[in-house]
Amino acid sequence: MTIDQLKEKFIEKYGEGDFNGYFSPGRVNLIGEHTDYNGGFVFPCALSFGIYCLIRKTGRKTVRFASLNMDFEAEVSVKELNKPIGKEWVNYLIGVFAQFLKRGIEFESGADILIYGDVPNGAGLSSSAALEVVTAVAINETYNLGIGRLDLIKMSQKAEHEFAGVMCGIMDQFTSCMGKENHAIFLNCDTLDFELVPVKLDGAKIVISNTNSPHKLDSGKYNERVSECRAAVEAIKPYKPISALGEISLEEFNKLEDKIEDDTIRRRARHVVSEIKRTQDAIKELKAGNLGNFGKLMNESHDSLRDDYEVTGFELDTMVEEARKIDGVIGSRMTGGGFGGCTVSLVKIEAIDTFIKQVGENYEAKTGLKPEFYVAEISDGGKKLF
C-alpha cells in the first residue's frame, strides 16, 4: 500500500484535517540468537517492511485506535491508557502509552491513530517491536515530549514485557529504532554499546524464507529458555561471579560446564556462550570480506539452536536443510525467537530464482506448508514520513 493510499484510508476513517505518518521497520537477525537477554552480542538489521502509524492529535479526551490489518477497534480515555483490553492487538499501543504515563506525563488531549503493517504476522521478524517503536516515536513527536531514542527503545521493550508477557531482550526494539540503510547493528546487549557495520554482500542478497509455521513467543517456551539461562548463571556463580551468561568466555565455560549438573541447562548455556563467540567472529569475517566464513558461522549458529537450545523444530530445520542443498547458498539459519517463523540465508544473486523455486517445492512437499520468500533490503530505523 502506498503512502497516498494510507492517507486516503486515514481520511476515510477519521475525516479531513492535518495528520502525520511514521514508520518503524521489522528486523532480521543475521547471527546472535537468544543472546540478547543474556547480555551478549547480536547482529541484526532493519528491513524495508514494517509498521506505519498515522496519527492526529485531537481536542477529545480519548484515543481512537484502528488498524488496516485487524478488525478490532477501540476508543480509550486518556486517563485509562494503562489498562489492557483483553488480548487484543491494541495492547501493544496501550502498553507504550502506559510507559509515558509512568513517567508522569499526562495527556491532556487525545488522538486518532491508524496502523498498517506489511511485516508478515507471526513470522519472527519483530512486527511487535516495530509496532511498539513506531507508536513510541509517533507519541513522542506528536506531543512534543522530547524523550531520547534510547529511552523510547527501553519503554517499547517494557511495553512488550508488561502488556504482551514476553520477557524479550532489547535487540528487536533497538534495531527497529536505530537501524541504518545498508548497515547491520553490532550490539552489546549488556552495555547497549553498538557499531553500525556496512553490509557489503558482493554479489549476494539476504533472502528471508517464511515457513508459515507461526512462531508463538507467548507460548511459554521463550520465557522457559530465559529461566533456564538464569539457572545456568546460578550454577556457575559459586565458581565465577557472573550475573549473565554474556559475562563468561567460551574458554572459561568449557572449564566450568561440568559444574552445571542438569544436562538441559548445560546445553542451553553452551549455546548462548558459543553463539556470542560466533557473533564476534562473524563481524570480523564480514569486515574482512570473508563471506564464506560468515556463512559457515551462520550454519553453525542454526545447528547450535537446533541441538543445544532446541528452538527450531521440523519446519525451520527442513527449510534450512533444503536451503543448504542449493549451489550458491553461502549460509542459512533460523532467525528470531524460533518455534516457527523464518530463516535467513545469504544467497548469490544468480542462484536466487533457483533457491526460491527448489526450496519452496521441496519444503512444501515435506511439510505440507506453502512458504513465502522475501529478498530483503536493509532500511533505516523509526522515522517520520510526513
Q: Are 98 and 163 in contact (CB under 8 A)?
A: yes
Specify if 374 maps to a domain.
no
Q: What b/e string do you get for 35-64 counting C-beta neighbours within 10 Å, with b at 16 or more?
A: bbbbbbbbbbbbbebbbbbbbbbbeeebbb
Specify if 252 maps to a domain.
no
Q: Tell me the one-letter amino acid at 126.
A: S
Percent of the chain residues topping a pLDDT of 90: 88
Q: What is the pLDDT of residue 125?
A: 77
First to last CA, the chain: 16
Per residue in 335-385, pLDDT tens? 988 888 899 999 999 999 999 999 999 999 999 999 999 998 999 999 999
State the burial class of residue 2 (Cβ atoms within 10 Å of its Cβ: 0-12, 13-18, 19+): exposed
Specify if 112 maps to a domain.
yes
Residues 6+ apart with CB under 8 A from 205: 346, 347, 349, 352, 375, 376
Specify if 70 maps to a domain.
yes
- Which residues are identified as catalytic? 172
| pLDDT exceeds 60 at position 217 | no
Q: What is the pLDDT of residue 126?
A: 74
- The model's confidence at residue 165, banded by pLDDT at 50, 70 and 90, is confident
CA dist 289 and 53 (Å) reads 38
To which residue does cell 564476534 refer? Answer: 280
Percent of the chain residues topping a pLDDT of 70: 97
CA dist 20 and 141 (Å) reads 10
Specify if 75 maps to a domain.
yes
Q: What b/e string do you get for 179-214 counting C-beta neighbours within 10 Å, with b at 16 or more?
A: bbeebbbbbbbbeeebeebeeebeebbbbbbbbbbe
Q: Are 276 and 189 in contact (CB under 8 A)?
A: no
Per residue in 17-39, pLDDT tens? 999 999 999 999 999 999 999 99
Per residue in 311-342, pLDDT tens? 999 999 999 999 999 999 999 999 988 888 89
Specify if 315 maps to a domain.
no
pLDDT, mean over the chain: 94
The total number of structural domains in the chain stands at 1
- The model's confidence at residue 215, banded by pLDDT at 50, 70 and 90, is low
Specify if 88 maps to a domain.
yes
Specify if 362 maps to a domain.
no
Q: What is the pLDDT of residue 100?
A: 98
Q: What is the pLDDT of residue 121?
A: 66
Q: What is the pLDDT of residue 289?
A: 94
- The CATH number given to whatever domain includes residue 93 is 3.30.230.10
Domain range enclosing 84: 3-197+380-384
Q: Tell me the one-letter amino acid at 141.
A: E
Average pLDDT (226-246) is: 97
Q: Tell me the one-letter amino acid at 181.
A: E
